[in-house]
Amino acid sequence: MNRPLNLRTLTIYYYRYKDTPYFAFGAFGLVLVISFLLVVFLVIPQIQQFVSLQREIESVEATISTMESNREYLQSISEAKEQEQSEIVRFALPIIKDYAGIYTAIVTTASQTGVSLANFQYEVGSLNESVLEGNVVGEVRVTLSVSGSPTRITEYLKKLEETLPLSTVTFIAGDNLTSQLEVAFLYGGEQLIQIDPKQPLPRLSAEKQALLGTLSSYRPQVEPVFVQSTPSTSSAESGFSQSPF
């Protein structure tokens, strides 16, 4: 019959086996089990916590060092130059749909190349829409009717693509005198700028500085491009034959 395991039973077992090798083996095994449990449930978690804390400290120190480096870099930049470069980028890829900039680019380029524009229309959509999701750039499509010689129309297309805001011709059709164009003006440039405060600020490479210089040359020189047609004013002089609206 099995005896219930209580203090009296344990005492009997103790006096029965205390002078035998089994007692030493049992005591040694009990010490091993307790040591193992202490290592697994106490020592190892403490070591892991210490290592994790050290990594966190190193990460915070690295972030502080990076932020300090970024601060020094920002202080070294000329505020006037930074403002000028920022304006160029905003002209090239406006944050929202820049209807005024689009209009200026269309009519200024027409005046400079001597083509005539009939009424043109925007794909309006939301007047304050910006590209909110994904690293993509939005488009504002404009339909144009351009009159002029093939040489001047070709020059107009080239000049329009070299005028801010940036654009690309997506469709062209017509004859020797008039062409129908669809031009996509780009916007939403803020999506291309991803800044992580934990990472060093990227420096402007020579290539990017050259690109900024090129974009600066693309900024339209605002001039009186619309002249109401009169008997003494030809369409070539006015830049286009009638008001675009």
Domain residue spans in the chain? Answer: 7-76, 85-191+204-227
CA distance 194 to 208: 16
pLDDT, residue 123, reads 59
pLDDT tens per residue, range 111-156: 888 888 876 666 555 544 545 455 567 888 888 888 888 889 889 9
Work out the angle at residue 122's Cα, subtended by the Cα atoms of residues 120 and 128, and round it to the nearest 5 degrees.
Answer: 150
At residue 27, the 3 state secondary structure works out as helix
Burial bucket for residue 27 (CB in 10 Å: 0-12, 13-18, 19+) = exposed
CATH superfamily of this structure's domain 85-191+204-227: Ribosomal protein S6/Translation elongation factor EF1B (3.30.70.60)
pLDDT, residue 70, reads 86
Whole-structure pTM value: 0.59
pLDDT, residue 179, reads 86
pLDDT, residue 225, reads 43
The token duo for 140 is 């504002």
Tokens 């007047």: give the residue.
127
pLDDT, residue 127, reads 47
Half-sphere exposure of 107 (CA within 13 A, CB side): 24
Q: Which residues of the chain have pLDDT under 70?
A: 1-6, 119-136, 189-194, 221-245
pLDDT, residue 237, reads 36
